[in-house]
Amino acid sequence: VRPQTVLLVFLSIVPQQCFGQIIGGREVKPHSRPYMAYLEIKNGSKPSYCGGFLIRPDAVLSAAHCLKPRARINKHVQFISIPRRNEHVREGDLCTVSGWGWTSVTGNKTNMMREVKLKVQEEKICQQLFRNYQRQSMICVGDKYSKKATYKGDSGGPLVCNKKAHGIVSHAREHNLFPEAFTRISHFEPWIRKQLKRFSLQDIPGYPSSD
């Protein structure tokens, strides 16, 4: 049997605390998020778990602090497009995050994928809360009034807006989950393309090659 590999592309920006966390969400309909990947990272005797998402049959995008063979694409396993460098979400946009993370801060785990809708916030809110918030490479998401957030185990999952993965679940504050700062994928789009080409992979589906 010929071994197959999948490229794991990790992104990392750390403004303060790192968590990956879904609270206040709902259970996802089976097979409705075919681009989602569940990652089990074995480092020593205790494994850690993260989410990720297929941007091609042979490439998974996830969060770097999350440190699996080629995906078999079928009706239940699909990839999701990522935005171009100049594509951005706007304040007020309603996006969705899916994952297998804790459903409460007390540690309720779930084997079922859940999802939550989160609203994009104005940048100055996160700039005031996160000391190292960088608007070029981060997205400010979620508000204290909705009481919804990602939580432990959701790290690396996609923030999906208008059917594209615009963000990666990355950062929250330990004692206050709202809002959160996610990695902005469009900022890293050229770098992602470079890594894919470096590993002799094909172009990302969803938009034409820049060559």
Exposure string of 70-98, with b = 16+ CB inside 10 Å and e = fewer, is: ebeeeeeebbbbbbeeeeebeeebebebb
Residue 148, Cα to own-chain centre: how many angstroms? 16
pLDDT for residue 29: 84
pLDDT for residue 145: 75
Question: What mean pLDDT comes out for the span 11-26?
Answer: 48
Judge whether residue 7 has pLDDT over 80. Answer: no
CA atoms of 69 and 3, how far apart (whole Å): 8
Model confidence pLDDT, tens digit, residues 63-121: 766 655 566 778 888 888 999 999 999 999 999 988 776 666 656 666 678 888 899 99
pLDDT for residue 203: 55
Residue 161, Cα to own-chain centre: how many angstroms? 12
When the candidates are 2.40.10.10, 1.20.1070.10, 2.60.120.10, 3.40.50.180, the CATH number that belongs to 7-198 is 2.40.10.10
Question: What mean pLDDT comes out for the span 23-39?
Answer: 78
Question: What mean pLDDT comes out for the span 4-24?
Answer: 48
Q: CA 135, 9, 52, 109 torsion: positive or negative?
A: negative
> What percentage of the chain has pLDDT greater than the value 90?
23
Judge whether residue 23 has pLDDT over 60. Answer: no
- Give the pairing of strands 164-171 and 114-119: unpaired
Q: pLDDT band at 170, cuts 50/70/90?
A: confident
pTM for the whole structure: 0.69
More confident residue, 208 or 93: 93
